[in-house]
Amino acid sequence: MRIVLLGAPGSGKGTQSQRLVERVGIPQISTGDLLREAVARGTELGRQAKEAMDSGRLVEDSLVLGMIRERLGEPDARRGFILDGFPRNLAQAHALDRLLEALKQPLDAVVQLEVDSRELVRRIAGRRSCADCGRVFNLLTSPPSGARAVCPKTGAPHRLMQRPDDNEATVAERLRVYDEKTRPLIDFYRARGLLQVIDAEAAVDEVTARLAQALRVPALRAPKRAAGARRGAAKRARKPAKKKAAATAKRTRASRASPKRRSTRTRRAKAPRAGAVRGARRRKSTRR
């Protein structure tokens, strides 16, 4: 399955992409992650990308397209992929069409995550990413917890950091650029019959369920660990019921064997039957 997730910064594309990776088993290709990796390596591409991201501008198409082409050629992308944050404008969308046509891997679906602009600002302020594995969290909507609280690379708790372009000073500019450059993609993909729009202003699990319905992916069910947790909770819930049933059965047995009932049974056992009394009397009269 080849998917593009569209949405403004803070709409939850990264979180939902990670959930798709866990359930469908295809890689997430995030231009943001690829660019930040280039920045960390200090390459010329990374230097140019850093300048653009720090000022809230989009990175030039030629830089992004080269990285996307290289990533789609890796073995794990042959079964499918999730494009998160790309394309971001019509020029990139046309270039992606040409690239996927050459690779004979056309898109299966494009999903637009819709969120109100005020909610977007609130979410962006709470967003954090792990400095080691790059996983994205949100302190307000999806904080690290349970098994997700441990970094898969270090085995220690995530080292959460706020990205330089997630501060409020650049949010307004990023949203303006999104409305100007990226929103036209909605009509572009709708005309091709690929677009699905879902309301992403809800709890993370609810958005995941809506995404599953839009993609018609039955594999989008709860992870095994969540299912195991539910089974454990159900088992724990059954224990009190079993204890209550056992206590009731014990009381019933005790009441059946109460002194009053035992004495009644004893008297009945000791008392001679009426037929036996009459037989004894007849035998006595015969002997006489």
Residues recognised as catalytic? 13, 88, 127, 163, 174
Nearest-angstrom CA–CA distance, 105 and 97: 9
Task: Report which DSSP code applies to 180.
Answer: I
Q: Is the dihedral of CA 222, 227, 233, 238 positive or negative?
A: positive
Q: At what angle do helices 168-177 and 117-126 cross, to 10 degrees?
A: 140
CA 66 to chain centre: 31
82 DSSP β-pair partners: 3, 28
- Give how far the C-alpha of residue 287 lies from the chain's centroid of Cα atoms, to the nearest Å: 97
Q: Whole-angstrom Cα distance, residue 178 to residue 182?
A: 5
Tally of helices (H runs) and strands (E runs) in the chain: 12, 8
Is residue 144 reached through a cis peptide bond, with omega within 30 degrees of 0 on the bond before it?
no
